[in-house]
Amino acid sequence: MALRQQKPVENVTIWLPINRTATFQPVNWHITPEGAHCGIIKDAGDDPDVTHGAEICATVAWGHDPGIEIRGGIGVGTVTKLGLGLEVGGPAINRVPRRMITYSVEEAAGEILRGRGLTVTISVPNGEELAKKTTNPRLGILGGLSILGTTGIVKPYSTASWRASVIQAINVAAANGCREIVLSTGSSSEKFAQKLRPDLPEMAFVEMGIFTGDALKTSARNKLDRATLCGMIGKLSKIAQGHFQTHVAGNQVDLNFLADLALQCGASPALQAEIRVANTARHFLEIVLAHGLTGVFPLLCQRTCQQCYNYVRGQVAIEVILFDFDGNVLGYSNS
């Protein structure tokens, strides 16, 4: 908008992936006929986020080729390892933020984009320093932060209130007659589960996040008939080992455990060795699929199911569903 008008924009409103809008006040404008630059000060509420108060910047300039090109600038990390779902060598800007950027730029550009190109460069002035406080370097994201997100907003939860909200959601579902609940490890797995179980009311779906143990204990306390755990490879691999608080800072994905599962499904010594040095749980998933070793997935679900069933001492029937990153079911088990 500023590039078109050659003057700052006081406020800007964008659509978020959860079908609502958000309005921001850009700061630190710099505008020329060739490009426009501004920033937004991130407000993470009381969420324990190292980027709270950081300036997230965008520079939009005329490009050489038609269409919109998204680049990472200063303070945005570069992907150097497999297993993150992003191109190695490219900027650590995930798919949902890319879609949001593309949609908003197309909307603002309108007619001027026809036959022309725009380059959008995202940067975080102190991102490289902030990234040292994250797990990015361990994951092979070097030189800065990741631009993440699945909803477009950060939920301003402290850890205590997040845990309380999970317990409350299960209590409410039980109080309103739900005998079965679906516990998801994140927003994506919850969305996949809702498509899989359209017969259940919305309140039956609870995003438990990292609080697996609290969610299971609350389900048992409410004498529910069944709890279905839905998640992706990383979180389920932790629960399968008996970790019922699955925050990344609390326990890492155990690649030796995953390699042992692969061994039970016939993995060769070479494949086991490859798994043990994988970058992430997602990388493990890619390796297994590439070698057709799909028996690992139901085995992982069986282990997870047994751990959860033992945790609630058989007071609640347990189901486990493992999704891939596109919502396909990879594995299933029940008690």
Q: Are residues 293 and 184 in the same domain?
A: yes
**Could you say which of 96, 111, 145 is where a domain stops?**
145
Q: Are residues 14 and 42 in the same domain?
A: yes
Q: Are residues 50 and 126 in the same domain?
A: yes
Lowest mean pLDDT among 68-82, 143-157, 160-174, 310-324: 143-157
Average pLDDT score over residue span 18-36? 93
pTM (predicted TM-score): 0.69
Average pLDDT score over residue span 187-198? 94
Buried b (16+ CB within 10 A) or exposed e, 172-200: ebbeeebebbbbbbbbbbbbbbbebeeeb
- Specify the pLDDT at position 251: 59
Cα separation of 144 and 112, whole Å? 32
Residue 288 has pLDDT above 60, yes or no: yes
Q: Is residue 152 part of a domain?
A: no
Kindly report, residue by residue over 69-115, the tens digit of the pLDDT. 999 999 999 998 877 788 999 999 999 999 999 999 999 888 877 87
User: Looking at the 3D structure of the chain, how many domains does it have?
Assistant: 2
Q: Are residues 213 and 68 in the same domain?
A: no
- Specify the pLDDT at position 122: 98
Average pLDDT score over residue span 23-29? 95
Kindly report, residue by residue over 211-262, the tens digit of the pLDDT. 999 999 999 999 999 999 999 999 999 999 998 876 554 557 899 999 999 9
CA 111 from chain center: how many Å? 34
- Which residues constitute the domain of residue 170? 159-334
If we measure between CA atoms, which residue out of 271, 301, 312 comes closest to residue 288? Answer: 271
